[in-house]
Amino acid sequence: MDTNFKLLTIRAKEGVYSLLSGNHLSKLYGDGYDFAELREYQVGDDVRKINWNISAKLQKPYIKEVNSNRELSIVVASMLDGGLYFGEDNKKQHLMTEIASMLAYYTQYNNDIFSGINYAQNSIYTTNPTKQIFTIDSYLKDIYNTKTLYTKLDKQEAIKDLFRRVDKPSLIFVLSDFLDEVDLSTISQKHEIVAIIIRDEDEQNPTLKGEYNLISPISNDKKKRFINKSSIDRYKLKLKENDDKLIKHLSQNSIRYSQILTNDNILTKLMNL
């Protein structure tokens, strides 16, 4: 196993488990299967909950309360292509792996159902809904090891596949750099969506100046460019236009989001959601 991948997942587990240590879920009344208690009927209660056998014996209407089913369906969908291969050491792809790790381990710790879907140019890696740590680790390893350089993912087609693939109403985390336009309006009508925007710090706030040979990590096109303050300002303006449009789209569809940079505290950003 790759040492860096192992250290990444260990760090994610430690962060999640230390945060949740000592937390216990309280009981909720609602629709479920576990019997909680019998109590007298009160005005406004659902008459379908009346236990007629007990009510007949006690000569008063009683209803049966059950504990709410708190088990959630959590789906983490990662979008991988050459756009993640920015800067040194493939930091964006490693960041995506660590974010997915924290979401997956949180789901497993909370005893919810986890599904992982990894979209790349020529492959779709999926897990069956699971609570097994082995299956989760296999999914995370696929994100970490997927070859992204000089690949291009059609992210809108990936979202359409995600809509068709996930039947049960779920909480879906979509992990992407969101530098391509993606329409999440349809899938957000069926599921609760959370967008995780993954960026490199140098990609978001470039500081390099001078002459550089630039290589596209998607098309492998090579261009020599002189970068100065003016060109950086134009780049930032284009990026702002992209992000303003993205955030407007997310807000209009009631989609929560968080932007996480390569130098951010991941756990803090996720908890702020």
Q: What is the pLDDT along the chain (273 residues), one digit of tens a residue?
A: 588 898 888 888 888 877 766 554 444 444 444 555 678 888 777 777 788 877 887 888 888 765 555 678 999 999 999 999 987 788 999 999 999 999 999 999 888 999 999 999 999 999 999 988 899 999 999 999 999 999 999 999 999 999 999 998 999 999 999 999 999 999 999 999 999 999 999 999 998 889 999 899 999 999 999 999 999 999 999 999 999 999 999 999 999 999 999 999 998 899 888
Note the residue count of the chain. Answer: 273
186 close to 197: Cβ distance less than 8 angstroms: no
How buried is residue 232: exposed, middle or buried, by Cβ count under 10 Å (0-12/13-18/19+)? middle
**pTM attached to this predicted model:** 0.81
Q: Are residues 119 and 228 in the same domain?
A: yes
Q: Are residues 191 and 98 in the same domain?
A: yes
Q: 3-class DSSP state for residue 46? A: coil
30 close to 123: Cβ distance less than 8 angstroms: no
Q: Are residues 203 and 134 in the same domain?
A: yes
The whole-angstrom separation of Cα 41 and Cα 43 is 7
Looking up residue 179, the CATH number of its domain turns out to be: 3.40.50.410
Q: Are residues 33 and 85 in the same domain?
A: no
Domain containing 230 equals 3-19+71-271
Q: How many domains are contained in the chain?
A: 2
The whole-angstrom separation of Cα 43 and Cα 61 is 11
Does residue 114 lie in a domain region?
Answer: yes
Give the CA angle between residues 127, 132, 138 to the nearest 5°: 50
Q: Residue for token digits 């490693």?
A: 94
Q: Are residues 33 and 113 in the same domain?
A: no
- What spatial distance separates the first Cα and last Cα of the chain, rounded to whole Å? 32
CA 27 vs CA 17, 63, 65, 114, 136: distances in Å: 21, 18, 11, 22, 27
How buried is residue 131: exposed, middle or buried, by Cβ count under 10 Å (0-12/13-18/19+)? middle
Q: Residue 77's beta-bridge partner residues?
A: 117, 174
Neighbouring CB atoms inside 10 A of 240's CB total 10
Backbone φ and ψ of 63, nearest 5°? -115, 155
Tokens of 87: 């800067």
Backbone φ and ψ of 70, nearest 5°? -95, 0
The whole-angstrom separation of Cα 101 and Cα 267 is 11
